[in-house]
Amino acid sequence: MLCCVASASYAGDTIKYCAPLDFPLLLSANFGELRPNHFHNGLDFKTKGTVGHPVRCIADGYVSRVAVQHGGYGQAIYITHPDGHTSVYGHVLSFAPEVEKYVREYQYANETFVCYLYPEPGRFKFKKGDIIALSGNEGSSAGPHLHLEIRKTGTDEYLDPMPYFRTRIKDTKAPKASFIGLYPVRGKGVVEGSTNKKIYPVASIKSPVIAWGQIYAAISAKDYMDGTSNFYGVHSVTLYVDSVEVFSSKTDRVLPDENRMINTFTDYDELVRTRRLLMRSYKSPGNKLRLHHVGEGRGIVNIDCEKDYKFVYVLEDNFGNKSTYRFTVRGQKQDIPEYRMTGEELLRASHTAIIQRPGMEFIIPKGMLYDDTEVSVGITAEDTTAVSLEYDIDAGNAPLHGYCPLAIGVRKLNTVSPDKYYIRQIDGRRTYYVGGKYDNGWMKAKVRNFGKYSVAVDTVPPSVVPLDKAKWRTTSNIRFKVSDKATGISTYKVYIDGKFVLFGLKKGILVIQDKEKVKRGVPHKLEVVVTDNCGNETRKQLNF
């Protein structure tokens, strides 16, 4: 059964920040929305599907940081305010003229596109409502929008910006759930006679679910807003069993080190296998998320009586819109199979784990596992010409919280320099560059996923292909398609008539940033230098 309660008024709310855009605010993403390996740490404002709109400073402050990078926020400006907050504006097309000039001077002086700058406090001051940037689509952005964050100055704790803008946004729609999950605790519970989890569409969970022993629940849900077809993360989730609260979460603040703990909030295994996002109403031993509130049972429900247990989920958004979902778990006494380990080792979340095999060592420091985890290691040595053995460190779909040291022995040194070796991760037919350094017969790197790893050699330089070269002289729109199959692009530089000209690498294309640096209609000499992560270099000289 589903019921909704809507509330549009918030007594006592105080809006002290102005709108960052000049037109009515519509969101494409909210704070806390579930993303791969992180919570969404701000609000994404729609910009009418176009770029170049004025971005306004939400309060008086000064520029404390400017970042320009290939992925992530692309171009971002950070404003520190007297109230203890710092606002961040991401994916912007360009900065205010004085900031843009400051960035360009650094880029040309250091011959680099990527930069992270920290102007001295007060060098660039802005008043509330001043234009600090133009909206864009830079970095890892799927479409034009403005990403806005509010952080606590000093700790970089992400705060939900919604309370400052919700009087400008209309929302009368309640969250909606799609799936309910029930999970037996390993060796201590069963659901429908099985030790495996059971996931039910909300519409089909009308009859009581039979269970015995220790279990916990999960729910898949999305929020919605007026005036848009987008869906969002659910702000608050509370689970009651027989009118007693056993779990609650309220996503209103996240510390940087908590971000990846989204992988223990959600059912990570289900996400990897089916792409379904279920929020678990259970707090793993390694889960330090402050947004989760549980009792001593950590969200586990003990089904130890032959009776009906009434489960009630209450979902609430930032505007007071609520949805309630009810289902019944019927206790039915039955045998609970003893837990039998199928892996080679059991890694304890409360201890540092060291996995060693011939030619391989993987160290998982305390705090990197959320739950006790089984692991097995497979070793492949079929190819006698391979630089190393291949190690399949198999822990199912268990997530790691952070980077862990991995060392793999090199079986034979080729004639190439050791800096051409690298560790790679193998996923089916695809491989991913991990990196690492050679040290006395070992390649050493840090990884944050279980999986298949080996050492490989890269001696092939990147591919650099000019695009529309015939038009360069008349348009100055100079572009190259660049790629490197093995280790990826590390650095690049372009010189025109012997002088450095700024280019940016955007979705695999090197794009000139300052066309005015190139005089049209006259001949030029160009040199492009691109290097991959193993130091292989491609250098091309072109006339146009």
256 and 120 fall within a common domain: no
- As a whole number of angstroms, the distance between CA 411 and CA 515 comes to 50
Of 204, 326, 349, 197, the residue nearest 274 (C-alpha): 197
186 and 326 together in one domain: yes
At 6 the pLDDT is: 34
pLDDT at position 14 is 57
Indicate whether 377 and 467 sit together in one domain.
Answer: no
Look at residue 428 and tell me if it is in a domain: yes
Q: Length of the chain, please?
A: 544
Alpha-carbon distances of 366 from 38, 352, 369, rounded to whole Å: 20, 4, 7
SS3 labels along 353-367: EEEEECCEEEEECCC
In which element (H, E) is residue 164 found? Answer: helix 162-165
pTM for the full predicted model: 0.92
Instruction: Give the pLDDT confidence score for residue 8 in this predicted structure.
Output: 33
Q: CATH no. for residue 532?
A: 2.60.40.10
Quick one: 128 and 272 in the same domain?
A: no
Can you tell me whether residue 102 is helix, strand or coil? Answer: helix
| Nearest alpha carbon to residue 454 among 486, 431, 428, 483 | 431
- The last residue of one of the domains, among 440, 457, 474, is 457
Question: How far apart are the C-alpha atoms of 480 and 503, rounded to whole Å?
Answer: 10
Kindly state whether residues 448 and 471 are assigned to the same domain: no
363 shares a domain with 234: no
- Boundary-marking domain end, from 457, 483, 500: 457
Q: Note whether residue 365 is domain-resident.
A: yes
If asked whether residues 304 and 381 sit together in one domain, one would say no
CATH number at residue 356: 2.60.220.30
b or e along 208-240 (b: 16 or more beta carbons within 10 Å of the residue's beta carbon)? Answer: ebebbbbbbbbbbbbbbbeeeebbbbbbbbbbb
Three-state secondary-structure class, residue 49: coil
Q: Is residue 398 part of a domain?
A: yes
Q: Give Cα separations from 164 to 17, 43, 137 (angstroms).
A: 6, 11, 24
Q: 271 and 388 share a domain?
A: no
What CATH number does residue 155 fall under?
A: 2.70.70.10
pLDDT at res. 372: 96
Q: DSSP string covering 486-544, please?
A: SS-EEEEEEEETTEEE-EEEETTEEEES-GGGS-TTS--EEEEEEEETT--EEEEEEE-
Reading the block at residue 384, the tokens are 């006698």
- Do 186 and 310 lie in one domain? The reply is yes
Nearest to 517 by CA among 107, 219, 188: 107
Task: Give CA separation, 147 vs 90, 153, 168, in Å.
Answer: 5, 18, 17
The answer to whether position 29 is within a domain reads no
Asked whether residue 445 is domain-assigned, the answer is: yes
| Residue 168 lies inside a defined structural domain of this protein | no
Give residue 484's pLDDT.
97
Q: How many domains does the chain have?
A: 4
In tens digits, the chain (544 residues) has pLDDT values of 333 333 333 333 455 899 999 999 999 999 999 998 999 999 999 999 999 999 999 999 999 999 999 999 999 999 999 999 999 999 999 999 999 999 999 999 999 999 999 999 989 999 999 999 999 999 999 999 999 999 999 999 999 999 999 999 999 999 999 999 999 999 999 999 999 999 999 999 999 999 999 999 999 999 999 999 999 999 999 999 999 999 999 999 999 999 999 999 999 999 999 999 999 999 999 999 999 999 889 999 999 999 999 999 999 999 999 999 999 999 999 999 999 999 999 999 999 999 999 999 999 999 999 999 999 999 998 677 789 999 999 999 999 999 999 999 998 777 788 999 999 999 999 999 999 999 999 999 999 999 999 999 999 999 999 999 999 999 999 999 999 999 999 999 999 999 999 999 998 999 999 999 999 989 999 999 999 999 999 999 999 9
DSSP string for residues in 202-229:
GGGTTSPEEEEEEEEEEEEEEEE-TT--
For residue 22, is it within any domain?
A: no
**Does residue 16 lie in a domain region?**
no
**Same-domain status, 453 and 470:** no
Same domain, 118 and 181: no
List, in order, residues 6 or more apart from 360 with CB less than 8 Å away. Answer: 377, 379, 389, 391, 406, 407, 408, 409
Give the three-class secondary structure for 447: strand
The reply to whether 310 and 350 lie within a common domain is: no
Residue 15 CA to residue 361 CA, distance in Å, equals 54
Domain holding 207, by residue range, is 176-331
Residue 338: DSSP 8-state: P
The CATH number assigned to the domain holding 190 equals: 2.70.50
**Where is the domain boundary, 303, 331, 359?**
331
